[in-house]
Structure 1
Amino acid sequence: MKRIAILGGTFNPIHNGHLHLARQFASLLEAEQVLFIPTSVPPHKAAPDLAEAEDRVAMCRLACEGTPYEVSDLEICRGGPSYTSETLAALKRRYPGYELCFIVGEDMFLTLDRWREPERIYALATICAAPRSAYGLARLEQYAKKIAASGAKTILANIAFLPVSSTMVREAVRDGKDIRGLVPAGVATYIEKKGLYRAVRCNTEQ
């Protein structure tokens, strides 16, 4: 069965670690296609300095220029909280006959049973994960056994961790540091031109 690798997230902003993970899993899975899907509203964490959706999509597209990867605005167009179960169901309808491979990092993988409709997620996609720490693989393997009892299919890969995060990028921007070693050049230029992440925006919604 042909495979599609899917990376979802806020991508606030997308960085070289995301692309590294995509490259490694695309090769491992022999994926026909790789999709980056920026969230509309992240349901699992607060994001007071979240860039506008159009900016995050634009940065993802810049990061994927010159690669075989694609960016989907599926969750942005749907609006509201971006629930993975709904996204995977929509992708399953769009790509019948393909195996969906949903890629997550160590931290998110270890919370899967607390996501909305976890059993539906397990039924729709194979969950792929890589460690972010020296002892991460053992934790992933233990957790994979736990969720297998609920029907989860998993692929774990001991991919070398690239030590970069979106938080690191945003903090570097606020500190006036060069971020060109953390994100693709086009993304760095976009952040500079748009003035993104120079200050944390206060969330005034009640």
Structure 2
Amino acid sequence: MCFKTEVPMKKLAVFGGTFNPIHNGHLHLVQGFQERLGIDRVMLIPSLVPPHKAAEDLANANDRLTMCRLAAQPHGLEVSDIELHRKGPSYTVDTLRQLHHAYPDTELYLLMGADMFLTLEQWREYKTLFRLARMCAVPRDENGKDELLWYAEKLNALGAKTHVEELPLLPISSTLVRERVKQSLPIADLVPKAVEDYIFQHHLYGGNSNG
């Protein structure tokens, strides 16, 4: 008698944002989720126009895409430009639909920070989001865990599948990187070396040299 063995679905984590620029904090977050959730693949998706916030000093889309690829390569991460081909704001629900269609036998995990997680009910077609992917977040600090868990329960009641993981976050932001570049301060500890070189070689964010 032959028994059919059910093959577990592959897990694809989707991490989107402006990545203006991508930094070590982003990579640290992704690696933490990979370990905790047993993620098979991670896809970084830079957005063309972020719908949730105004982007200051936004670098050219091709530059941000290239920096993502430079940062991703040593870690075996994937980078997609699907949002860069859309006109207007980049809505996550549209991206997840595309990925669900492209990878029907894959379970999608949407990675995000605490601030974005706490606004999920304001996202376009948020209930569709919940059907397409698992919502994954990490608290900013130990004091923020309870708020995220409370909100996760609220989202679960709306049909979401949520993961709140306690991961140590690095005190790095894209804003910090841009400000240090403007002030001609070193950023070697904030971004991968290849990204640092690219920023200064292409004079992004007002940078003139990497001394």
Q: TM-score, length-normalised on structure 2? A: 0.92
1:62 to 70, 89, 92: 70
Match for 1:17: what amino acid?
Answer: G
Size of the aligned set, in residue pairs, is 199
Answering whether residue 71 of structure 2 is matched by residue 27 of structure 1, we say: no
Structure 2 counterpart of 1:204: none
Structure 2 counterpart of 1:51: 59
Deviation sequence 1:127-170 (CA, Å, 0-9, x none): 11111123111111011111112111101110011110111111
Deviation sequence 1:2-49 (CA, Å, 0-9, x none): 100110000000000000011111112211211000001000001131
Identity fraction in percent: 51
Deviation sequence 1:71-102 (CA, Å, 0-9, x none): 00010022321000000000000111111000
Long gaps (5+) in structure 1:
200-206
Structure 2 counterpart of 1:202: none
Q: State how far apart, in whole Å, the 1-side matches of 2:178 and 2:55 are.
A: 12
Deviation sequence 1:112-133 (CA, Å, 0-9, x none): 1111111111110001111112
Structure 1 counterpart of 2:163: 155
Answering whether residue 204 of structure 2 is matched by residue 179 of structure 1, we say: no
Answering whether residue 10 of structure 2 is matched by residue 2 of structure 1, we say: yes
Deviation at 1:53, TM superposition (A): 0.4
Q: Which runs of 4+ in 1 moved over 6 A?
A: none
Bigger Rg, which one: 2
Q: State how far apart, in whole Å, the 1-side matches of 2:147 and 2:200 are.
A: 38
Q: State how far apart, in whole Å, the 2-side matches of 1:133 and 1:169 are.
A: 21
Match for 1:128: what amino acid?
Answer: C
2:144 to 133, 136, 157: 136
Q: State how far apart, in whole Å, the 1-side matches of 2:104 and 2:36 are.
A: 22
Match for 2:63: what amino acid?
Answer: D
